């Protein structure tokens, strides 16, 4: 019963949001955003447990491709809703919201989740998180996707062919990852209970969890997205910031909590590996799907997603952070110093606009607003990448081995 309690709680917190959608009831934006956000949160936990159990019954290659996509469905549902609406209403701010959600989710993963895992492991064991040699594959493709991502702000657009590049990188990665030796999956909590069922009942329970969780997420995505924006207007909070930081928290929290549990059980490498894979999935699949969904919604692939200077700078900042993170992990280890650097830079780019505004400083050379300060942090990330990459040049060169199934230690 103790292991089933999280499953029961996860289902229960989805019900108010599901009722809100099915009944057509109208609530004020703040409680509507809260209920639909909780529904997405609960469904995200259900998806994670279903994904764990599913790997017992489907081929390794299919598991890697399908489970990776389904596990991040909450993040995709919100972002694809904004993207679809951007195609339907090109004069609106939906395109900006889509970029906000995507960049926020990616920066939170590295700046908060990665650094938290490394910090918690250090406090627990006084050791760095050491990754498996096979994780070079994820780091290599994260580096390739990041390198290409810089072309988006440079050329000023996110077009259909950019999406094809990101999707091709993901397919290439999945092809390599699927050739790894199969590893026996260790189930915990509700997943362990479901996995212990007879084969037929286990599969039925897994499919039921998938269908229920996916239904809740798809039903709640519109309610959550629209009411989150409306909540910002009600309280005078910048809607872009709410979409960028609050929306990803609801979808990323379950995976982050599971990673924390792995660290507490002494499996820090597994925790970090899952978060690196999540970052890679979002930086390839999520970004790659945006121009395709926008083209389908608008009825034409001729015109790319409309982006202004601020959104392009946000993409550049996200790519710069990712570039530095790849360099830090090139040695397949992440210690407390690197974790503090990741978190410190993230906190700096997040809080500096408010600090500068509160200090009422004279006009700075790079500007006092968010955009100018974010450009400054982008330059700092790139400079730190150059310095770290030079110091770890042998490790950076060794990342090329990630393109091979059989990697050797160098």
The pLDDT, as a whole number, for residue 403 is 87
Per CATH, the architecture of 5-403 is what?
Up-down Bundle (1.20)
Residues in Cβ contact with 340 at an 8 Å cutoff, skipping those fewer than 6 apart: 115, 119
Domain ranges of the chain: 5-403
The pLDDT, as a whole number, for residue 366 is 59
- pTM here is 0.88
**Cβ–Cβ < 8 Å for 301, 362:** no
* H-run or E-run covering 129: strand 129-130
The pLDDT, as a whole number, for residue 271 is 84
The pLDDT, as a whole number, for residue 293 is 95
CA separation (Å) from 114 to 162, 250, 389? 27, 17, 19
Q: Which pLDDT tens digits describe the chain residue by residue (410 residues)?
A: 778 899 999 999 999 999 999 998 889 999 999 999 999 889 888 888 887 787 777 655 455 556 656 666 778 888 999 999 999 998 888 999 999 999 999 999 999 999 999 999 999 999 999 998 888 999 999 999 999 999 999 999 999 999 999 999 998 988 888 776 655 566 777 888 998 889 899 989 988 998 898 899 888 988 999 999 999 888 888 888 888 988 888 777 777 887 887 888 888 888 898 889 889 988 998 899 999 999 999 999 988 998 999 999 999 999 999 999 999 999 999 999 999 999 999 999 999 888 877 776 666 665 556 778 889 999 999 999 999 999 999 999 999 998 886 665 55
**Cβ–Cβ < 8 Å for 166, 287:** yes
Q: Which two tokens stand for residue 55?
A: 């790997």
Can you give the three-state secondary structure of 270-312, one letter per residue? HHHHHHHHHHHHHHHHHHHHHHHHHHHHHCCCCCCECCCHHHH
Q: Is 156 left (phi over 0), alpha (psi -120 to 50) or beta?
A: left
**Cβ–Cβ < 8 Å for 112, 255:** no
* Distance in angstroms between the alpha carbons of the first and the last residue of the chain: 47
CA distance 193 to 380: 48
Closest Cα partner for 47 from 248, 220, 289, 217?
Answer: 217
The pLDDT, as a whole number, for residue 362 is 62
User: Which of the 8 DSSP states describes residue 158?
Assistant: B
Length of the chain (residues): 410
Collapsing DSSP to helix, strand or coil, 265 comes out as coil
The pLDDT, as a whole number, for residue 277 is 86
Q: Which two tokens stand for residue 318?
A: 């996200």
CA distance 401 to 133: 9
CA distance 59 to 354: 50
Q: Which two tokens stand for residue 71?
A: 């596990």
CA separation (Å) from 348 to 306, 345, 385? 28, 5, 17
The pLDDT, as a whole number, for residue 62 is 52
Residues in Cβ contact with 393 at an 8 Å cutoff, skipping those fewer than 6 apart: none
Q: Which two tokens stand for residue 336?
A: 């407390």
Q: Which two tokens stand for residue 386?
A: 């150059």
Half-sphere exposure of 248 (CA within 13 A, CB side): 25
């Amino acid at each position: 019963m103790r292991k089933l309690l999280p499953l029961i709680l996860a289902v229960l917190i989805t019900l108010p949001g599901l009722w809100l959608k099915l009944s057509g009831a109208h609530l004020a934006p703040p409680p509507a955003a809260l209920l639909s956000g909780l529904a997405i949160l609960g469904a995200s936990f259900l998806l994670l447990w279903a994904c764990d159990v599913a790997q017992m019954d489907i081929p390794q290659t299919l598991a890697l491709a399908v489970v990776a996509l389904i596990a991040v469905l909450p993040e995709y549902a919100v972002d694809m809703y904004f993207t679809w609406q951007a195609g339907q209403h090109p004069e609106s701010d939906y395109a900006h919201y889509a970029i906000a959600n995507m960049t926020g989710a990616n920066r939170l993963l590295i700046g908060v989740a990665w650094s938290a895992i490394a910090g918690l492991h250090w406090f627990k064991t006084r050791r760095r998180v050491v990754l498996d040699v096979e994780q070079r594959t994820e780091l290599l493709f994260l580096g390739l996707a990041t390198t290409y991502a810089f072309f988006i702000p440079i050329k000023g657009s996110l077009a259909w062919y950019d999406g094809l590049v990101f999707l091709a990188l993901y397919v290439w990665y999945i092809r390599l990852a699927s050739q790894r030796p199969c590893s026996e999956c260790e189930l915990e909590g509700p997943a362990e209970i479901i996995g212990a069922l007879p084969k037929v009942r286990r599969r039925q329970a897994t499919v039921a969890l998938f269908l229920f969780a996916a239904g809740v997420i798809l039903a709640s995505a519109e309610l959550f997205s629209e009411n989150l924006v409306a909540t910002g207007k009600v309280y005078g909070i910048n809607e872009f910031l709410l979409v960028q930081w609050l929306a990803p928290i609801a979808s990323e929290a379950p995976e982050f909590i599971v990673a924390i549990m792995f660290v507490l059980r002494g499996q820090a490498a597994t925790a970090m590996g899952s978060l690196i894979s999540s970052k890679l999935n979002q930086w390839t699949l999520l970004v790659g799907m945006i121009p395709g969904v926008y083209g389908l919604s608008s009825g034409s692939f001729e015109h790319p997603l409309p982006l202004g200077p601020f959104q392009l700078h946000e993409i550049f900042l996200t790519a710069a952070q990712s570039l530095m993170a790849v360099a830090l992990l090139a040695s397949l280890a992440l210690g407390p110093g690197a974790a503090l650097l990741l978190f410190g830079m993230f906190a700096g780019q997040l809080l500096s606009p408010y600090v500068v505004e509160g200090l009422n400083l004279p006009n700075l050379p790079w500007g006092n607003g968010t955009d100018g300060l974010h450009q400054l942090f982008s330059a700092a990330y790139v400079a730190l990448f150059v310095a770290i990459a030079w110091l770890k040049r042998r490790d950076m060169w060794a990342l090329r081995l990630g393109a091979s199934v059989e990697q050797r230690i160098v």
